[in-house]
Homo-oligomer: A and B are copies of this chain.
Amino acid sequence: MAAILGNKIKMAIFGQSHAEAIGVVIYGIKAGEKIDTEKLQKFMERRAPGRDEFSTPRKEADEVIFVSGLIDGLTCGAPICAMIKNNNIKKNDYDDLKDIPRPGHSDFAAFMKFGDDFDSSGGGQFSGRMTAPMCIAGGIAKQLLETKGVEVSAAIDEIAGFQGDKMYDAMREAKKEEDSVGGIISCLIHGVKPGLGDAMFDGIEGSIARGIFGIPAVKGIEFGSGFSGSRLKGSENNDEFISDGDKIITKTNKHGGILGGISSGMPISFRVAVKPTPSIGKMQNSVNTKTKENVKMTVRGRHDPCIVPRAVPVVEAVAAFVIYDMMMSE
C-alpha cells in the first residue's frame, strides 16, 4: 500500500497536490498520550515553503486541523485524523505540460502506470506537498519518542557536494541559473536501547530505508560508515566493545548503532542522498506522449532551487515514525 507505513502504529496518508485537503490517519496510538499541537505546528513550519530565499514563496500556512482522535490535547484511543486544507487549488498552471513529461519527474512513469485519469496537476500523489502529512504523523511520533528519552535529529550534511557556507553559494548560483542542486542529509537517533529490531527483513536498516525512500527525490541511504566503510578493512571498520560502567558500548560507531539489524545502544546514524530538484527553468528535451514528437520544454513557475533544507524535517519525521512503530511493536 503506497500510502501506508507501519505495523503496530500506522500512518495512512490521503490527498493529492490539488485535492480539497491532504492529511493522514494514524492508527495504534494508545489512549491518554499527550500531543502538544503548538509544538507540532512549529515542526510543520520547518517543512513549509517560503521560509527563506531558496524555497517557493509561502502560499499556505500548512495549518494542521485535527478531525478525530484527540480531545483536549490527549489521544482518546480512536484513530487520529489530521488534515491540511489546500487553499490554492489552481490546476491550470500545469495544463500545458499535461502530455509532456518533465525530465527527472514522476510524470512519465505515473502516466505509464495510471494513464490519462491520473490527476497529474501539481504532481498529484507524487508532489513534495505529500510530505506534509508525513510530518504530521512523524512529528507526533517524535514527541512521543521524546517522552521515552529518544531524540531524532537530522541536518544538512552536504549541498551540491559542499559543506559549510559554500552550500549557500551553490544554492544561490543554481537559483540565478534557473538550475537546481541536491545534497545529503544526515540523521542521528539518540536514546534507542540495545535490542530493538530483528534479523533479516525486519532489521532497523531495512525498516528505515523503506520509509525514507517514500520521500520524493531520495535516491540513496547508508548507515554508519556505509559506502565508505566498504572500502575499509575489517580491522578498521569493526567497532570494538568496551565497558562503560554498567553498560557495554563501542569505542567508535562505524556500525551506525545497528548490528545484525538490531540496535546496539549506540546512536543510530544514517545519511540520505537527495537528488537535485528536477523542476528547473532551463530548457530541456522531452517527448509529447500523445504524438511521440520530440519537443523542447521549460518548467515554468517558481521552484525551490534546492529542496534539501525542507527535506530535513521530513527525514526526521519518517525516521521518528519508523522507530516509534518498532518500539511499540516489540
Residues on A lying within 8 angstroms of B by beta carbon are: 1-5, 8, 10, 12-16, 19-23, 25, 27-28, 30-32, 66-69, 71, 74-81, 83, 101, 103-110, 112-119, 124-126, 130, 158, 160-161, 174, 177, 179-184, 193-203, 205-207, 209-214, 216, 218-227, 229-243, 246, 248, 250-251, 255-256, 258-265, 273-280, 282, 284-287, 289, 292-294, 329
Contact of A104 among B21, B255, B280 (CB under 8 A): B255
| B32:A117 contact, CB within 8 angstroms | yes
Cβ contact within 8 Å between B231 and A78: no
A2 touches B200 (CB 8 A): yes
How distant is A269 from chain B, measured CB to nearest CB, in Å?
Answer: 11
B219 touching A222, Cβ below 8 Å: yes
Q: A115-B31, A224-B219, A284-B240 are in contact. Are A230 and B158 (CB under 8 A)?
A: yes
Q: Chain B residues near A79 (CB, 8 Å)?
A: 3, 12-15, 125
Q: How far is the CA of A6 from the CA of B214 in the complex (A)?
A: 17
Given A5-B201, A242-B287, A67:B83 Cβ within 8 A: yes
- The one of B3, B28, B66 that contacts A27, using a Cβ cutoff of 8 Å: B3
| Interface of A, helix, strand, loop or mixed by DSSP | mixed
Interface core residue of A200, A274, A293 (most chain B CB under 10 Å): A200
Beyond A16-B76, A76-B16, A78-B15, whether A220 also contacts B227 by CB under 8 A is yes
